[in-house]
Amino acid sequence: MKNPLEKWILSKTRGVSIEEFQIAKIKETLNHACGNSKFYRKLYEEADVSELKTFVDFQQLPFVTAKDLTDYGVHMICVPQSEIERIVTLETSGTSGNPKRVYFTGEDLELTTDFFHNGMRCLIDESDNFMILLPYKTPGSVGDLLRLGLNRLGCSAFAYGLIEDYRQAGEFLLKNKMTSLVGSPVQVLKLAELMKAENIDMKLNSVLLTADYVPDAIAERLAAIWKCEVFEHYGMTEMGFGGGVFCEYRKGYHLREADLFFEIISEEGIALPEGEYGEIVFTTLTRKGMPLVRYKTGDYGRFIKERCPCGGTLKLMEKVKRRVDGGVSIRGSEFHISDFDEMLFSCDKIIDYNLELRDGKFNIEIMTINDVKGNKEQHSRLLKRQIINKGDEK
C-alpha cells in the first residue's frame, strides 16, 4: 500500500503520469521565470525555452548556484514585492558581499504547509502529542509552518523552539506527555542522553530528525533510549524547507515530486541514472515568488533503483550523508565529516564534538553529557556545524 505522501502527490497530478505533470510544470515555471525575472531572461537569452519538450531538452539548460542566489537573488523574484510574505536570510561564508536571501509568497508558504500536513502522516497520526524543536516564532518559519500542517492533521502540536535549557525541555516533554518530536540530530541526542542520565525512562512513538545530516549512530542511539522509530527529513530553505521524508520502512526519502523536480548530476554536469552518485539538483515546479531552476544544492546522493516496500512507485532517494566538496585529504585518503560522525557518535558518552585540522593532524574536542547538565547550555563553537537548513529567521 502506498504511503500517505505518495497518495497526496499522485492526487495532485490529476490523472496524468508524474513525468507528464513535471514536464508541464517545468514549462510553466520557465515561462513564469523568463516573463518576470531579469536574471532568468539573461540566463536563457541564448536558449529557446519555448521549444522545450523533454527532460533531455531541459537538462541542457544552465544551472543556478548558491553564488547566483547571493549575487542576483533580488532579480530572481517573479512577483511584485508587495506579494512577498517571507524573506529568509541564509548564512554565507566570508565577511563581504550580499547576503543570500530566499523569497516566498503566501501561496509558496501554503505549499510547504500542505507538504508538512501530508508528509507527517508517514510517522504520526491524530492521537500524537508532537513537540517541535525548531525555530517557530517568526510567521512562516519552518517550525510555524510545521505547526500549522500538524494542526490540519488533527494532532496536538507544541512549538517549543531550539533547546537552550535541556533539563527544562525534558520537563516539558514529560509534563505534556509528548509521544513524538522533531529536531536536529545533535540537540535531540543531547536531550535523550540527559534524560537517560537522570534515570527518566520513557517511550516515544517516533522521532523525526532534520536540519542537519543524520548519522546512523545517532538514529540507533535514539531508537534504543526512547524505544521508538527514528525517521529522517531532507530539506533546505531554498526548497521551501521541505524536500522528502522517510516512510515507515525508512529505506530513503520519498520526495515532494509534485512541487520539486530532482536530478543527480556528475562533476561534468551530466544527469545520472538511478543508482549513480552525484550532486543533488532540484527545480521548483509550483513556486511563484522566487522559482529556482536546476539549483545545485552541494549535497551528494543518489536515487535508489529498488522500489520501497511501502509500494511507492515514485523516486526514492538514499539518505544524504555529506556534501560534494566537504572532504579533507590527509596522506592520500579523503575524509568527510560523516566518517567522524559515525565513529564518534557510536560511543555512548559522546554527544557532540568539534573537529579542526592543524598541521595535517586532526584535533578533536569532545562533549559529553556532563557538559549539558547545567541550567543553560551556552552556544559555542561546538554547535557551529554545517547544516542543510540554515535560515537565521530574519
**Eight-state DSSP code of residue 307:** P
3-state secondary structure of 35: helix
Q: Which of 50-59, 115-124, 321-330 has the lowest mean pLDDT?
A: 321-330
DSSP string, 128-196: -EEEE-S--SSTTSHHHHHHHHHHHHTSEEEE--S-S-HHHHHHHHHHTT--EEEE-HHHHHHHHHHHH
Residue 377 pLDDT more than 60?
Answer: no
* Number of CB atoms found within 10 A of residue 257's CB: 22
14 or 30, greater pLDDT: 30
Q: Which of 37-41, 194-198, 361-365 has the lowest mean pLDDT?
A: 361-365
Give me the pLDDT at residue 92, please: 61
Q: In the chain, which segments carry CATH 3.40.50.12780?
A: 4-110+246-317, 124-237+325-383
| pLDDT per position as a tens digit, 268-284 | 999 999 999 999 999 99
Q: What angle do CA 47, 50, 51 make, to 5 degrees?
A: 80
Residue 139 pLDDT more than 80?
Answer: yes
7 or 386, greater pLDDT: 7
The whole-angstrom separation of Cα 326 and Cα 298 is: 9
The whole-angstrom separation of Cα 134 and Cα 211 is: 9
| pLDDT per position as a tens digit, 70-129 | 999 999 999 999 999 999 998 765 445 678 999 999 999 999 999 999 999 999 999 999
The whole-angstrom separation of Cα 321 and Cα 216 is: 9
The grid coordinates listed for 302 are: 543518489
Residue 380 pLDDT more than 50?
Answer: no
Residue 370 pLDDT more than 80?
Answer: yes
Give me the pLDDT at residue 332, please: 64
3-state secondary structure of 382: helix
Q: Locate the DSSP E strands across the chain.
A: 84-90, 100-105, 129-132, 156-159, 180-183, 206-209, 229-234, 244-245, 253-255, 260-265, 278-284, 295-301, 316-317, 322-323, 328-330, 333-335, 350-358, 361-368
- Strand order through the sheet with 322-323: 260-265, 278-284, 295-301, 322-323
Query: What percent of the chain clears pLDDT 90, i.e. is strictly above it?
Result: 76
**CATH topology assigned to domain 4-110+246-317:** Rossmann fold (3.40.50)
**CATH topology assigned to domain 124-237+325-383:** Rossmann fold (3.40.50)
Give me the pLDDT at residue 236, please: 96
Give me the pLDDT at residue 2, please: 66
